């Protein structure tokens, strides 16, 4: 999608144009979007929420995120994997979340897939980050440049996740997920977060090298 040009905000910082002036969206942009995430459970949560976003604006999910966390037991895969049809019906009555049966049931199947990955391999995070060589890709986005809807990497990750039983993880959803969790840095180079996200990635790499 086209990324609006960076905006100079009242605090003197230049930011990507997409959060505009919405305080919640600006905070998400500054503190989360593009920040490299390596925690298994946190990655699972974000992927599930991106699946619920399909067909909706992300700000809609962001405004409901606290409700989602409460409804889905803080996105603990072990709990979600054991959800019963009765639980699904209760979720379908919860106005605080997106009441889509296919997506709710998909989250349960995805949780089961997550548990299998954690039991049989190096872990969810390691599996996903392996697709980008263990470190974020910096696309060096220019002002107003269009980010791709999907990439060969997001297609490969999508295929792997589907193979493990995940639902609502098509290549476009997966690329949005990769942007959000910092597997790709799609902040415009003129946005103050671009350099900050790269610094966090370098810090992690240095720490990992020492181990």
Tell me the binding residues.
Answer: 16, 29, 187, 191
3-class secondary structure for 9-67?
CCCCCEECCCCCCCHHHHHHHHHCCCCCCCCHHHHHHHHHHHHHHCCCCHHHHHHHHHH
Residue ranges at the known binding site for Zn(2+): 16, 29, 187, 191
- Which residue do the tokens 């949780």 mark? 111
Q: Which helix (H) or strand (E) holds 185?
A: strand 184-185
With contact defined as beta carbons under 8 Å apart, do 29 and 18 qualify?
A: yes
Q: Which two tokens stand for residue 35?
A: 């920040």
Alpha-carbon dihedral of residues 82, 84, 90, 96, nearest 10 degrees? 30
- Which residue do the tokens 């995120």 mark? 65
DSSP 3-state assignment of 68? helix
């Amino acid at each position: 999608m086209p990324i609006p040009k960076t905006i100079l905000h009242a605090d003197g910082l230049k930011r990507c144009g997409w959060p505009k002036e919405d305080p919640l969206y600006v905070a998400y942009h500054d503190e989360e979007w593009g920040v490299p995430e390596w925690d298994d459970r946190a990655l699972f949560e974000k992927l599930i929420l991106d699946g619920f976003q399909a067909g909706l604006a992300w700000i809609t999910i962001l405004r409901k995120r606290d409700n989602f966390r409460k409804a889905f037991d803080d996105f603990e895969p072990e709990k979600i994997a054991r959800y019963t049809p009765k639980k699904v019906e209760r979720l379908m009555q919860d106005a605080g979340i997106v009441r889509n049966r296919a997506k709710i049931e998909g989250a349960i199947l995805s949780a089961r897939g997550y548990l299998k990955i954690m039991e049989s391999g190096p872990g969810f995070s390691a599996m996903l980050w392996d697709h980008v060589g263990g470190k974020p890709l910096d696309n060096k986005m220019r002002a107003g440049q269009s980010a791709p809807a999907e990439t060969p990497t997001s297609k490969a990750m999508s295929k792997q996740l589907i193979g493990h039983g995940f639902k609502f993880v098509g290549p476009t959803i997966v690329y949005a997920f990769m942007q959000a969790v910092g597997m790709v840095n799609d902040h415009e180079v003129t946005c103050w977060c671009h350099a900050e996200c790269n610094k966090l990635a370098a810090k992690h790499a240095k720490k990992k090298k020492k181990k």
